[in-house]
């Protein structure tokens, strides 16, 4: 009588879950290294945004407390560019998972005795590493065009930590999208189409005071805006007389950023793991 195949494990301890997640993360990182154009093309867009917004729009946008000062706008802008870059990792996460689904790789993973959710956790961790690399390169470009952080090393690292936490939260949204569509192309489109209004109806590129009143409330309660303002405060990139809006997330941006990111991770990780368990 032939031996029975091991049944897939439905759960597993924390140690096993961490081990399985790291194995999957290593697999995805090795894949990125073997396809370096994935990293190169991922760097081109944010660098273009830095250059275009700094030199094309820098002298045309008035900041409360600074006026039409290109240098002040350049420092004001960079937190928005950093935040936009980490959230755009959503599209890559969704496309990668959709590609694995399309090739049948997810079905093979589901048949193995591994911790539930490790495939998705490993994928998001690999995307987090890629996002961190992108941030490092982008920070160097920002320094070249004149951006500076003025609040010391610890507060600067805290700002980048908030950015990476937001990026990690958004990769779980990408994971859910990737599991919900049929092709990588659909995952890429689905991962980007909602990001543009999210990032532009925010305080990333212009102050909310310059918007119509109904959009001001949307921008000030936008999770993206909370992280942008928090990083501006931690980097010391706000003009001296900049009027902070009265909305609670704008008055408590660091706490609001942490709460929004954790809430997104908990909600979308739960939905993504549930979708993964039933995906075919």
* Residue 26: inside a domain: yes
Is there a domain that residue 9 lies in? no
Give the integer Cα–Cα distance in Å for 23 and 182.
Answer: 26
Q: Classify residue 107: in a domain, yes or no.
A: yes
Does 53 or 272 have the greater pLDDT score? 272
Residue 5 resides in a domain: no
Mean per-residue pLDDT over the chain, rounded:
84
Six-digit token string for 71: 């240098």
pLDDT over 70 for what percent of the chain?
91
CB 224, CB 204: distance < 8 Å: yes
In a domain, 8, yes or no: no
Least reliable range by pLDDT among 25-29, 80-84, 215-219, 250-254? 25-29
- What is the pLDDT at residue 280? 52
Distance CA 69, CA 73 (A): 6
The answer to which of 171-175, 177-181, 216-220 has the lowest mean pLDDT is 177-181
Residue 7: what are its φ and ψ, rounded to 5°? -75, 145
| 58-80: pLDDT as tens digits | 667 777 766 666 777 888 889 99
Return the SS3 of 126: helix
pLDDT of residue 11: 47
As beta bridge partners, residue 63 has 67
**Higher pLDDT, residue 62 or 27:** 27
Q: Which domain holds residue 254?
A: 14-278
Assess if residue 94 is contained within a domain: yes
Inside any domain, residue 7: no
Q: How confident is the model at residue 30 (pLDDT cuts 50, 70, 90)?
A: confident
Assign 3-class secondary structure to 44-94: HHHHHHHHHHHHCCCCCCCECCCECCHHHHHHHHHHHHHHHHHHCHHHHHH
Query: Would you say residue 173 has pLDDT above 90?
Result: yes
DSSP 217: H
Cα 23 to chain center, whole Å? 22
pLDDT, tens digit (0-9, with 9 covering 90-100), for 75-130: 888 999 999 989 988 887 888 888 877 777 777 777 777 777 788 888 899 889 98
Q: Tell me if 18 is assigned to some domain.
A: yes
Q: How many domains is the chain partitioned into structurally?
A: 1
């Amino acid at each position: 009588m032939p031996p029975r195949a091991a049944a897939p494990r439905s759960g597993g301890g924390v140690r096993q879950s961490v081990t399985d997640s790291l194995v999957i993360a290593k697999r995805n990182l090795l894949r990125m290294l073997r396809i370096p154009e994935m990293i190169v093309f991922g760097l081109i867009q944010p660098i273009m945004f830095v250059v275009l917004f700094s030199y094309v729009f820098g002298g045309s946008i008035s900041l409360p407390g600074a006026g039409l000062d290109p240098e002040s706008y350049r420092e004001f802008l960079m937190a928005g560019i950093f935040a936009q870059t980490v959230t755009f990792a959503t599209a890559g996460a969704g496309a990668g998972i959709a590609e694995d689904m399309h090739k049948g790789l997810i079905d093979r993973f589901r048949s193995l005795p591994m911790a539930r959710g490790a495939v998705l956790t490993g994928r998001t961790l690999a995307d987090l590493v890629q996002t961190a690399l992108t941030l490092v390169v982008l920070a160097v470009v920002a320094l070249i065009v004149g951006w500076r952080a003025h609040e010391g090393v610890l507060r600067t690292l805290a700002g980048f930590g908030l950015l990476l936490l937001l990026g990690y939260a958004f990769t779980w949204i990408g994971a859910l999208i990737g599991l919900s569509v049929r092709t990588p192309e659909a995952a890429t489109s689905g991962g980007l189409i909602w990001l543009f209004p999210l990032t532009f109806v925010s305080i990333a590129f212009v102050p909310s005071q310059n918007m119509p009143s109904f959009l001001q409330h949307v921008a000030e309660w936008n999770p993206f805006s909370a992280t942008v303002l928090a990083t501006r405060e931690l980097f010391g990139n706000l003009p001296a007389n900049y009027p902070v809006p009265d909305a609670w997330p704008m008055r408590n941006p660091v706490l609001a950023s942490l709460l929004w990111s954790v809430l997104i991770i908990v909600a979308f990780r739960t939905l993504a793991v549930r979708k993964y368990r039933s995906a075919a």
